Structure 1
Amino acid sequence: MKSFDDLDTLVGAVPFAIVNDLRTIDTGRGSEALYRDKLPALLTSLADRARVASIEASSAIEGVVVEDRARAADIVAGKADQLRDRSEQELAGYRAALDYLYQEQWRPLNVGLILHLHRLLFQYTPVPGGQLKQVENLVVDKMPDGTKVKRFTPVAAAQTPSYLDELIRRYLAAQAAGRHHPVILTGLFVLDLLTIHPFVDGNGRITRALTNALLHDAGYDVTRYVSLETAIARSADAYYAALLASTGRWHDGQHDPWPWLRYFVGLVAGTYQDFATLTSRARSGGSKQDRVREYVLDHAPSTFQIGDVRAALPGVSDQTIRIALGLLKAEGRIEPDSLGRGATWSKRP
């Protein structure tokens, strides 16, 4: 909300580095329709992989991890009959929230939608979801020695409903006016929603899920094919540092949104660069072993299975994948964690 107080002044002089990233984003956006026409099978595969990666990465950022990868895959696919613990419950909840936003009928953006997403996130847990905070909360960092340091103070519980309403109203008005870049406006919405911190728990996950939906709504579909949440997880220190730098004096309307916007716009530009790499490989053909190598080293999660590679690279046989993995193992780039059909591999630093 506060980031929209004097929008014309704020974005009247966008830093050069951000301008360059916006150009990368808009160039990538212009190519999306071409890829949908020319490489539909690849995009379907990328979308399936990105969905799984997003669910797992956004949950992991909050410490929600299911160590058994086969079990996690069943939960993400909705095949788990019973959810055994809180991590499994919350992983399934994020899957439900993200999948709801992948449907076109999620619109319009309003407080009711945000409450519904929160309800979905916690629907499998004993915690009642879909309620704005009723008590004051703080956002803290846990230091290595176990002490906690306050990062910022969110909006008071009594003010949260009105602030949330106002943020949505201003964001929608700014997007409709069309005077400023949609990705900049989305970044400002994300910053303000995280600062309002409307829930006792789940704020980060709800905001990250909404980020995907708002980018899609503005015509930037790349996060359907490249997981934004994975990129955030890989740059978690920069993510939190940018938020910290941009939330100071937010309550007075004297904060500096540019540290956060530099991070956020760069993040979206990076997903378009990854998307370009994945699609260019498919267009040029190239060595199938080279494609496996590039995927494993540059795009696969730190721990992966052959099934992940197969999903990302349709048309590449399991035999080719195994040969490429064997070569990478011989180079000391990866190592097997287990044997058999469900074997996992880990990338070595």
Structure 2
Amino acid sequence: MNTFLHFLPNLKNIPLITTWELGELAEMKGHQELYTRQSPQRLKRMREFSMIESAVSSNRIEGVSIDEKRIGTVLFGNTSLRDRNEEEIRGYRNALDLIHKQSDKLLLTAETIRRFHELSRPGVWDSGKFKEKASDIIETYPDGSSRIRFKTVDPENVENYLNVAIEKYKDLVRDNQISPLIALAAFNLDFLCIHPFRDGNGRVSRLLLLFMLYRLGYEAGRYISIEKIIESSKAQYYETLELSSRDWHTGKHDAWPYINYLLFTFKNVYKEFESRFESSKVPRGEKTAVIVQALNEFSREFSLKELEQHCPGISRDMIQTVMKQNMSFLQCSGHGAGSRWHRIGVIPLNKGNNKGNGDFEKDDHRER
């Protein structure tokens, strides 16, 4: 709540690094449809792998782990679970499943947040309930000593603080007062500082990241585990969270370390998505369908380079081969790098993909 009430209203400028991260994320978001409309089987495999990584990593950050040989059974099987750790990992999977399938129907409310907690902490007496007693964040050192790293919001104020943060977030996004991603990161910081549950706040915070990104149209989290990326930079996660939570109660905190950490994390999710997608093998027939679809979507003149941008992960030679097979539907003007193409009919996609009856002079039309 305090990030929305005190930090964001007093912003005089946005750090340059934040502006860079936002620009890169906007560009990556613009590319995501070029990937998500391709290769359903590849995307399905990536979704399943992401589900495994997310459920395991988010729990492992909190010290909850299981035998690796049991992961598939726990996440996708129907057999009885052996212990509490397995229950929590399956519960997190169920929460992910809800977000993946119903994010467009769910609303950001206290009730939705409680539901995420209930699913990710199944069978616990206070599952889905806000805390009833104070629960400060304690850091324990190897020698057994400890310290209060952060004093959280008192139980009687939790629901009010959370509802204010929800409403302030919605206002900022609706009125376009600031980048929605900054508002999302600010909400996540406030959620962790409010610390509404006795236990399981970290896991719910990561479910909220995924859910709120989906609501903003950022879809890479379906295929790459945000939780895995956070786990791989866990030290930085805790460091920036501690830096940004200092003086949070007085509203004099600096939210930028944690905000920038999350933006950097989101960017790495997209980088991993593009890298993993392009490195996986694509059946030749599937590539042909992608190229034909891209050609049919051009209603104006286009260059070979523009067509390549609509067919990520597919070589120029393959693109040129499909164009050669469909020259009866294409016209070319110019030569070399300056050549422009125009589609003169809808290219059908069948088993032979229409060999066409035109010639394709590779040397004349290849862009250098």
What TM-score do the two structures reach when normalised by structure 1? 0.77
Deviation at 1:134, TM superposition (A): 0.5
Instruction: Give the whole-Å Cα distance in 1 for the aligned partners of 2:12 and 2:216.
Output: 20
Instruction: Give the whole-Å Cα distance in 2 for the aligned partners of 1:42 and 1:153.
Output: 45
**Structure 1 stretch displaced more, 229-238 or 21-30:** 21-30
Instruction: Give the whole-Å Cα distance in 2 for the aligned partners of 1:11 and 1:270.
Output: 26
Whether the 8 Å contact between 1:24 and 1:272 is mirrored in structure 2 is: no
Whether the 8 Å contact between 2:172 and 2:178 is mirrored in structure 1 is: yes
Secondary structure at 2:212's aligned position in 1?
Answer: helix
**Structure 1 stretch displaced more, 209-218 or 143-152:** 143-152
Instruction: Give the whole-Å Cα distance in 2 for the aligned partners of 1:244 and 1:7.
Output: 16
Q: Which digits, 9 at most, give the CA deviation of each residue in 1:45-72, with x for residues without a partner?
A: 21111111001000111111002x2312
Instruction: Give the whole-Å Cα distance in 1 for the aligned partners of 2:100 and 2:37.
Output: 20
Deviation at 1:93, TM superposition (A): 1.3
In the TM superposition, 1:46-57 aligns within 5 A as 46-57=46-57
In the TM superposition, 1:1-349 aligns within 5 A as 1-6=1-6, 9-67=9-67, 69-77=68-76, 79-104=77-102, 106-123=105-122, 125-282=123-280
**Structure 1 outlier segments of 4+, above 6 Å:** none
Whether the 8 Å contact between 2:7 and 2:252 is mirrored in structure 1 is: no
Deviation at 1:280, TM superposition (A): 3.0
Whether the 8 Å contact between 2:73 and 2:79 is mirrored in structure 1 is: no
Secondary structure at 1:43's aligned position in 2?
Answer: helix
Letter in 2 for 1:84: R
Question: What percentage of residue pairs aligned between the two structures are identical?
Answer: 30
Deviation at 1:40, TM superposition (A): 3.0
Deviation at 1:6, TM superposition (A): 4.6
Whether the 8 Å contact between 1:226 and 1:274 is mirrored in structure 2 is: yes
Secondary structure at 2:37's aligned position in 1?
Answer: helix
Instruction: Give the whole-Å Cα distance in 2 for the aligned partners of 1:283 and 1:94.
Output: 30
Whether the 8 Å contact between 2:7 and 2:255 is mirrored in structure 1 is: no
Q: Which digits, 9 at most, give the CA deviation of each residue in 1:158-183, with x for residues without a partner?
A: 11111011111111111111221121
Letter in 1 for 2:71: A
Larger radius of gyration: 2
Q: Which digits, 9 at most, give the CA deviation of each residue in 1:209-257, with x for residues without a partner?
A: 1110100100111111111100111111100000100001111111100
Q: Which digits, 9 at most, give the CA deviation of each residue in 1:309-339, with x for residues without a partner?
A: xxxxxxxxxxxxxxxxxxxxxxxxxxxxxxx
**Structure 1 stretch displaced more, 30-39 or 166-175:** 30-39
Instruction: Give the whole-Å Cα distance in 2 for the aligned partners of 1:156 and 1:126.
Output: 21
Instruction: Give the whole-Å Cα distance in 2 for the aligned partners of 1:146 and 1:96.
Output: 35
Where in structure 2 are there 5+ consecutive unaligned residues?
Answer: 284-368
Letter in 2 for 1:149: R
Where in structure 1 are there 5+ consecutive unaligned residues?
Answer: 286-349
Deviation at 1:149, TM superposition (A): 1.9
Structure 1 residues 192 and 87 mapped into 2: Cα distance closer, same or farther (>3 Å)? same
Instruction: Give the whole-Å Cα distance in 1 for the aligned partners of 2:269 and 2:213.
Output: 12
Instruction: Give the whole-Å Cα distance in 2 for the aligned partners of 1:43 and 1:145.
Output: 47
Instruction: Give the whole-Å Cα distance in 2 for the aligned partners of 1:65 and 1:221.
Output: 27
Deviation at 1:43, TM superposition (A): 2.0
Instruction: Give the whole-Å Cα distance in 1 for the aligned partners of 2:273 and 2:118.
Output: 32
Secondary structure at 2:49's aligned position in 1?
Answer: helix
Secondary structure at 1:151's aligned position in 2?
Answer: strand
Deviation at 1:37, TM superposition (A): 2.1
Instruction: Give the whole-Å Cα distance in 1 for the aligned partners of 2:224 and 2:15.
Output: 26
